[in-house]
Chain A
Amino acid sequence: MDELLNDFIAETRDMLQALSGAIVAWEAAPHDRSRLDEIFRFVHTVKGNCGFFDLPRLEQLSHAAEGALAEVRSGGRAADTRLVNAVLAVIDRIGELVQALESGESLASEDDEHLIAALAPEDSAPAVLPEAAAAIEPETRKAVRSIRLSVDLLDRMMNGVSDAVLARNELARRLRDAPRDVAVEAAFERVSACIAEIRDGITRTRMQRIDSLFAGLPRLVRDLSAELGKQVRLQIDGGDVELDREMIEMIRDPLTHIVRNAIDHGIEPTEVRAAAGKPKAGLLRVSARQAGNQILIEAADDGRGIDGEALVRKARAAGLLTAGQAEKLTPSQKTALVFAAGVSTAGEVTAISGRGVGMDVVRANIERIGGVVDIDSRATQGVRLCIRVPLTLTIIPALTVSAGGQVFAIPRSAIDEILRVRGGAVRFDTVGDAEVAMVRERRVPVVGLAPLLGVSATAARDDQKIILLRPAGGDVYALIVDAVHDHEELVVKPAAPAVMAAGLYAGTTLADDGRPILLLDPSGMAKQAGLRFEDSDIDRALLAGADGAEAPREETTLLLLRTLAGGVRAVPVTVVERIEDVAADAVGFSAGKLRVALGDRILPLAGCEAAPAAGKLRILRLTDGASEIAYGFAEVIDIRALAPDLQPALAPGEVAGVFLLDGAQVELLDPYWLFAVHAGAGQAGQAGRVRPVCALPAGDPWIDNMLKPLIESLGYRIAGASEDAADVVIALEGDEVADGGAGAGATPVVRIRARPEHGGGKDDSIYRYDRAALIGALSALSAAKGKAHG
């Protein structure tokens, strides 16, 4: 806003200067129409701008002058000397006010009414001023001591500081080699500290409030919605988040495109919205916030959402998907197709969004600056797009790797995981000429960095490292490098076009020792390696599907571990918060049970009978979202995605059941039981509450393994087999609700379907893994119930 105001002040001053000639000429010849027009235009412009800035005094003055001049222009009044003087006085006052605005002084306002009154025709009564006019003081602005700097100059300063940092590093190396001299070292420390401070300061000068990015949005939204005949309400939040200037420029186009899309394709025309029972005006929320060293910019609309099926059809037409692949896509994968090149949401190209710039370009632009775009779409409820970008464009955290004896950098934001080739965690298969890695039951395509770059690898295959890269959204692939070196914060600059032409690089940077490093572009590499869009995710869905007709839905990711007693047990990774080593003396038998002290907390400890005598104990920290317990074990064996064919345990206990894995028996831990027993004491308060009862279909393993713990964690008690009365019934799609007693007819039913796709029509079922919707449905029911009772 401040910047806009500065622009306004500068513009007004320029206009005043240009006008001074016209004012003098008009004074000499009050009937000169062209001079009159010129002055009229000036006050008109000032009035228009004032409205924008909430400067009531300037607005009133210019409005009054405009009114008087309009009368003259229409011939209703002659331009006599008195009017000319009055107008000139007003213009002078505008000049003074602008001056005052700039310097932050306040200017007495009582004269304004005289000036305005003087504009009135002679014979009319003195104008009565609106009370507000005198009452409203101009915003008192603090004197802002600021100057305008060109970004070039800032860049030069930045470069200078970077040079200084490099020179310091060089000097530090020399000093290490030279004989020690305390005085020299002290002086060097001082120089070092100064350089660090200057660097910090310069970095901050590059920061700018994101306001300047959002400032254009109201106008854009207004124009677009007017053009399209839609009503859109724009909500902007978090304008005070600061971001690197250059970054703001890089985000401007993608954000504009997203907003255009939201209004053009997302938000429905008024009548459609009315028919759908939505408020007439669509809501578009744009917000920014800082999360760690990332900035999140979110644009959410409440429009019709993205038609995943239409995208699939487009992708099929464009040859990006086969029919088989298309069938296996999850809804979110379908939505993510919007980012595929050559797939546009628009049924037809419109004047607004159809400018040849698709979401693929938006994603490419965001990724170029080390960012990520996520999309979340709900049919009829709208689309939420989230852009995550690093705090500054110039300094990004990166991992340095090497291939063929040369060092490259990879933005850390794209790195999922680093593995050893020899580690055994990865298995390689060759399919045709392509290599596929099996990483924890998940197949990912393999790209060798050295062959991709056309250099020869210097490390033997077994010594190489695997980096799992996730450029955006889901297309994970494995990059094989010769060696992984270090995490570094790198100052990244764009590379020359002839280098960018390789399609592999995102920019250049300098290492601490001053040698240049190329920053690799993860999505560019995937493209250059010929990996097709979303291959890995599609393949994963396909491969998982090939194992068994309904396998993918039943799979749970399990952590396999060896217990202290030596047995093999599995626990769903979803309940594992983290794995930690604790000293034996942190474990003690206190207040009736075994507990472990972790920092300032004490967690109940399961999995062991007694405190270990000495050494360390490895624990799993399990969480149910509200409370935590610790589970002692010996070692992690593996993490596998499995669909266990569970033989239930005879009685409820620590182990829910047993299943076969590679010919061996593995016991599956029952987190629910663990929490009920071990965390129970801490939740005594809950026990006193009457828990609502939920009836579940019996005999379905998914219900028993997955849903039951979830429902119970929401505070429900699961109805026993013989119980008829329940507060809510959960039924699988297609099942008849067992119509128990007289009251059962009124019992609300939540239906669950196994397919992700919505059945359409009156289908009100919930996809079984749509946890949020499930919880929402249950809490809506209990809220409704509460009301009914109250």
Chain B
Amino acid sequence: MADLLLIANLAGRRIAFPASEVEAVVELEGVTPAPRAAGHVAGLSALRSRVLTVIDGLASLGFGRSEGAGLTEAIVIPSGGHTYALLVDDVEDVIEAAGPVSPVGAPLGPGWDRVALGMVEADSALFLLVDPHALIAGPAASAA
């Protein structure tokens, strides 16, 4: 069975997440800021009775912060005992991978190198497969 990929847009690129790592895609009802938390943390939000830590995908890549308004679509990802909501520009669809993941073999540019798992073909297009956990960990984790 082919791997399922979640296709999303982040920082102007179409990227893929392994769908197995994703719990759901939800609309967030408002984000409560978490002052002084790590820079890529946009705040907290609630999903039913769970508190989600909202991660700003753009900030995690080191590309600045996402625009505040209208950012409600998020990818819910459980990681390390906590549940995160990853903010991306938008979420497209879940599709089947057409082949195995292969290494990219070329520098992807700052930000992307840290989170890339490789590239994968699907739906007759080539996507960068991104490790959501690396996005969640944020830039500080790789520096350490």
Report A's interface with B, CB cutoff 8 A.
Answer: 159-160, 162-163, 165-166, 404, 406, 452-455, 493-499, 501-505, 508-510, 514-518, 528
- Do the beta carbons of A493 and B51 come within 8 Å of each other? yes
- Do the beta carbons of A498 and B49 come within 8 Å of each other? no
Chain B residues with Cβ under 8 A from A499's Cβ? 34, 37-38, 41, 44, 53
Query: Would you list 20 pairs from A and B whose C-beta atoms are within 8 A, ordered by A residue?
Result: A163-B49, A166-B49, A406-B33, A495-B51, A495-B53, A497-B80, A498-B38, A498-B41, A498-B53, A498-B55, A499-B34, A501-B38, A502-B35, A502-B38, A504-B36, A510-B46, A510-B49, A514-B46, A514-B49, A515-B46
**A496 to B34 alpha-carbon distance, docked (Å):** 11
Judge if B45 is at the interface, Cβ distance under 8 Å. yes
Chain A residues with Cβ under 8 A from B100's Cβ? none
**A276 to B110 alpha-carbon distance, docked (Å):** 69
- Do the beta carbons of B32 and A517 come within 8 Å of each other? yes
How near does chain A come to B2, taking the closest CB pair, in angstroms? 30
**A503 to B37 alpha-carbon distance, docked (Å):** 8
Chain A residues with Cβ under 8 A from B30's Cβ? 515
- Do the beta carbons of B37 and A502 come within 8 Å of each other? yes
Residue in B closest to A403 when the chains form the complex, CB atoms? B35
**A514 to B45 alpha-carbon distance, docked (Å):** 9
**A159 to B48 alpha-carbon distance, docked (Å):** 9
* B:75-93 near A, CB below 8 Å: 80-82, 84
> A404, A497, A516: which contacts B46 (Cβ < 8 A)?
A516
A-B CB proximity, top 4 nearest = A162-B49, A453-B35, A496-B53, A502-B36
Chain A residues with Cβ under 8 A from B41's Cβ? 496, 498-499
- Do the beta carbons of B35 and A455 come within 8 Å of each other? yes
Judge if B50 is at the interface, Cβ distance under 8 Å. yes
Judge if B132 is at the interface, Cβ distance under 8 Å. no
Residue in A closest to B60 when the chains form the complex, CB atoms? A498
**A654 to B112 alpha-carbon distance, docked (Å):** 82
Chain B residues with Cβ under 8 A from A504's Cβ? 35-36
Chain A residues with Cβ under 8 A from B48's Cβ? 159, 163, 166
User: Chain A binding site: helix, strand, loop or mixed by DSSP?
Assistant: mixed
User: Chain B binding site: helix, strand, loop or mixed by DSSP?
Assistant: mixed
- Do the beta carbons of A502 and B34 come within 8 Å of each other? yes
Most B CB contacts (10 A, CB to CB) among A404, A517, A518 go to A518
**A493 to B80 alpha-carbon distance, docked (Å):** 14
Chain B residues with Cβ under 8 A from A515's Cβ? 30, 32, 46
Judge if B57 is at the interface, Cβ distance under 8 Å. no
**A496 to B37 alpha-carbon distance, docked (Å):** 10
Most B CB contacts (10 A, CB to CB) among A163, A452, A508 go to A508
How near does chain A come to B47, taking the closest CB pair, in angstroms? 10
Most B CB contacts (10 A, CB to CB) among A162, A493, A497, A510 go to A497
- Do the beta carbons of B36 and A454 come within 8 Å of each other? yes
Chain A residues with Cβ under 8 A from B52's Cβ? 516
**A404 to B45 alpha-carbon distance, docked (Å):** 18
Q: Are A496 and B84 CB-contacts (below 8 A) given A454-B36, A518-B34?
A: yes
**A454 to B37 alpha-carbon distance, docked (Å):** 11
- Do the beta carbons of B50 and A159 come within 8 Å of each other? yes
How near does chain A come to B82, taking the closest CB pair, in angstroms? 4
Chain B residues with Cβ under 8 A from A516's Cβ? 32, 44-46, 51-52
Residue in A closest to B82 when the chains form the complex, CB atoms? A496
Residue in B closest to A507 when the chains form the complex, CB atoms? B51
**A503 to B36 alpha-carbon distance, docked (Å):** 8
15 new A-B contacts, CB < 8 A, other than A495-B53, A516-B46, are: A162-B49, A163-B48, A163-B49, A452-B36, A453-B36, A495-B51, A498-B137, A501-B37, A502-B36, A504-B35, A508-B51, A509-B51, A510-B49, A515-B46, A516-B32
Chain A residues with Cβ under 8 A from B45's Cβ? 516
How near does chain A come to B108, taking the closest CB pair, in angstroms? 23
Chain B residues with Cβ under 8 A from A160's Cβ? 49
- Do the beta carbons of A406 and B53 come within 8 Å of each other? no
Chain A residues with Cβ under 8 A from B84's Cβ? 496
Q: Are A406 and B32 CB-contacts (below 8 A) given A497-B80, A499-B53, A501-B37?
A: yes
Chain A residues with Cβ under 8 A from B33's Cβ? 406, 455
**A502 to B41 alpha-carbon distance, docked (Å):** 11
Most A CB contacts (10 A, CB to CB) among B53, B55, B81 go to B53
Most B CB contacts (10 A, CB to CB) among A162, A498, A505 go to A498
Residue in A closest to B53 when the chains form the complex, CB atoms? A496
Q: Are A498 and B46 CB-contacts (below 8 A) given A515-B30, A516-B51?
A: no
> A159, A502, A508: which contacts B44 (Cβ < 8 A)?
A508
Residue in B closest to A453 when the chains form the complex, CB atoms? B35
**A753 to B140 alpha-carbon distance, docked (Å):** 57
How near does chain B come to A170, taking the closest CB pair, in angstroms? 11
Residue in A closest to B38 when the chains form the complex, CB atoms? A498
Chain B residues with Cβ under 8 A from A514's Cβ? 46, 49
Most B CB contacts (10 A, CB to CB) among A162, A406, A453, A499 go to A499
Residue in B closest to A528 when the chains form the complex, CB atoms? B36
> B35, B40, B46: which contacts A454 (Cβ < 8 A)?
B35
Residue in B closest to A162 when the chains form the complex, CB atoms? B49
Chain A residues with Cβ under 8 A from B53's Cβ? 495-496, 498-499
Chain B residues with Cβ under 8 A from A517's Cβ? 32
**A160 to B49 alpha-carbon distance, docked (Å):** 8
**A502 to B43 alpha-carbon distance, docked (Å):** 12
- Flag B131-144 by CB within 8 Å of A: 1 or 0 each: 00000111010000
How near does chain B come to A519, taking the closest CB pair, in angstroms? 11
Residue in B closest to A503 when the chains form the complex, CB atoms? B36
How near does chain A come to B134, taking the closest CB pair, in angstroms? 13
Most A CB contacts (10 A, CB to CB) among B32, B33, B34 go to B34
Chain A residues with Cβ under 8 A from B37's Cβ? 498-499, 501-502, 505
- Do the beta carbons of A498 and B138 come within 8 Å of each other? yes
**A499 to B51 alpha-carbon distance, docked (Å):** 12
**A499 to B137 alpha-carbon distance, docked (Å):** 11
Chain B residues with Cβ under 8 A from A159's Cβ? 48-50
How near does chain A come to B78, taking the closest CB pair, in angstroms? 11
**A499 to B40 alpha-carbon distance, docked (Å):** 10
**A495 to B50 alpha-carbon distance, docked (Å):** 11
How near does chain B come to A38, taking the closest CB pair, in angstroms? 41
How near does chain A come to B39, taking the closest CB pair, in angstroms? 9
Residue in B closest to A164 when the chains form the complex, CB atoms? B49
Chain A residues with Cβ under 8 A from B38's Cβ? 498-499, 501-502
Most B CB contacts (10 A, CB to CB) among A160, A502, A509 go to A502
How near does chain A come to B56, taking the closest CB pair, in angstroms? 11
**A528 to B49 alpha-carbon distance, docked (Å):** 30
Chain A residues with Cβ under 8 A from B36's Cβ? 452-454, 502-504, 528
Chain B residues with Cβ under 8 A from A528's Cβ? 36
**A454 to B34 alpha-carbon distance, docked (Å):** 10
Chain B residues with Cβ under 8 A from A404's Cβ? 35
**A498 to B36 alpha-carbon distance, docked (Å):** 10
Q: Are A518 and B44 CB-contacts (below 8 A) given A501-B38, A502-B37, A504-B36?
A: yes
How near does chain B come to A524, taking the closest CB pair, in angstroms? 10
How near does chain A come to B54, taking the closest CB pair, in angstroms? 10
